[in-house]
Amino acid sequence: MRIAVTADLHFGHNRLGDDATQLLLQHLQSQPPDLLLLGGDIGTDEHFEACLRLFRDLPCLKALVPGNHDLWVADNDHRGDSLQVYGHHLPDLCKRHDYHYLDTGPLILPNEGLAVVGSINWYDYSWSLERMKAEVPDWQWHLKNKAFTRGRHNDGRFIQWDTDDVRFTAQLVANLERYLMMSLDQVESVFVMTHHPAFRGLSFPRPVPARGLDALLWEALSGNAAIEALLEKHAERIPFIFSGHTHRDVEAQRGPTRGYNVGGDYHFKRMLLIDWPAGTIESFVFGDPSVRR
Ligand SMILES: [Fe+2]
Ligand SMILES: [Fe+2]
């Protein structure tokens, strides 16, 4: 089985990126995989559906997790708040265009002995909360406003919902655990795909330990410890984890699991092609990483 994985297409964001996505599509049309996985940040607002249409006629299974940008809403957005977009609007679009929305259930492929489980995954500050409390004056204000030394994380403006990061993260991890257990009951191996990095080794490549407000706040807003613990517990049956969000391609081994952050950015795209069960991986780049505009 050949599985193509990409992420952060940000369709409709700019011309260079969309040109690169078209090249990616042409490549897939010339050699269709058996399964296409999209790792979130697919397209804001109406661009999400436009991106689904783009790949719709590829003769393969398609599955996805959304990304934080896909949940951004405007005031009085016609689609509802970010939670309604996540729980209703996006799954409805996926159903209409024949994509498996992994946040509502696993994709189980009994003939391959494989399942794919996925989640947007979120952040609950646990990656740096204790250090923020100890080292950052006004840490609560910075977390609440997602405010760096200069500027704010756009999630602070465009994620609007009747929940909070900590509750949302706990719900997602509980869902993922359920999907993982359902899958492990039926097949031998599980691939995991998340938008926000599933473990620290897949996050932004930066000096460890993080120092200063900005680095600690990025840690706080990048992932969570609960999903790391969950995936570690079942690592023997998880050969691959794929994440996105950081726009930096990273490969990291964690016990028996090989982790990949797909990478790609607003102006170029990356794709991984996995041959299963051989476990070999090829990577592809579309567009020119050195030309931003
Ligand atoms: Fe992104
Ligand atoms: Fe993202």
Cα 217 to ligand 1 centroid, rounded to whole Å: 18
Rounded Cα distance, 101 and 118, in Å: 9
In which residue are the tokens 């250090």 written? 131
pLDDT at residue 293 tops 80: no
Q: What is the pLDDT of residue 210?
A: 80
- pLDDT tens digits, one per residue of 37-62: 999 999 999 999 999 999 999 999 99
Q: Give the tokens for residue 110.
A: 């009994």
Cα 10 to ligand 1 centroid, rounded to whole Å: 7
Q: Whose atoms come closest to the Cα of 43: which ligand?
A: 1
Rounded Cα distance, 14 and 293, in Å: 9
| Rounded average pLDDT over 60-88 | 98
Residues with CB under 5 A from ligand 1 (ion): 8, 41
Cα 110 to ligand 1 centroid, rounded to whole Å: 32
Tell whether the torsion through CA atoms of 175, 180, 186 and 187 is positive or negative: positive
- pLDDT tens digits, one per residue of 105-160: 999 999 999 999 999 999 999 999 999 999 999 999 999 999 999 999 999 999 99
Cα 191 to ligand 2 centroid, rounded to whole Å: 20
Confidence of residue 72 (pLDDT cuts 50, 70, 90): very high
Q: What is the pLDDT of residue 208?
A: 76
Rounded Cα distance, 49 and 68, in Å: 16
Q: Give the tokens for residue 189.
A: 């191996």
Rounded Cα distance, 52 and 44, in Å: 12
Backbone angles phi, psi at 104, to 5 degrees: -105, 0
Q: Whose atoms come closest to the Cα of 13: which ligand?
A: 1
Cα 277 to ligand 1 centroid, rounded to whole Å: 29
- pLDDT tens digits, one per residue of 2-47: 999 999 999 999 999 999 999 999 999 999 999 999 999 999 999 9
Q: CA angle, corner 260, sides to 213 and 157, nearest 5?
A: 40
DSSP lists the bridge partners of residue 194 as 119
Cα 186 to ligand 2 centroid, rounded to whole Å: 31
Q: Whose atoms come closest to the Cα of 154: which ligand?
A: 2
Q: What is the pLDDT of residue 292?
A: 86
Cα 227 to ligand 1 centroid, rounded to whole Å: 20
Cα 265 to ligand 1 centroid, rounded to whole Å: 7
- Cβ neighbourhood burial of 284 (10 Å; 0-12, 13-18, 19+): middle
250: three-class secondary structure by DSSP? strand
For 177, the enclosing helix (H) or strand (E) is helix 165-186
Q: Whose atoms come closest to the Cα of 196: which ligand?
A: 2
Count of other CB atoms within 10 angstroms of residue 286: 21
Cα 89 to ligand 2 centroid, rounded to whole Å: 18
Residues in the chain: 293
Cα 243 to ligand 1 centroid, rounded to whole Å: 11
Q: What is the pLDDT of residue 209?
A: 81
Cα 74 to ligand 2 centroid, rounded to whole Å: 17
- pLDDT tens digits, one per residue of 206-234: 777 888 999 999 999 999 999 999 999 99
**What average pLDDT does the chain have?**
97
- pLDDT tens digits, one per residue of 161-194: 999 999 999 999 999 999 999 999 999 999 999 9
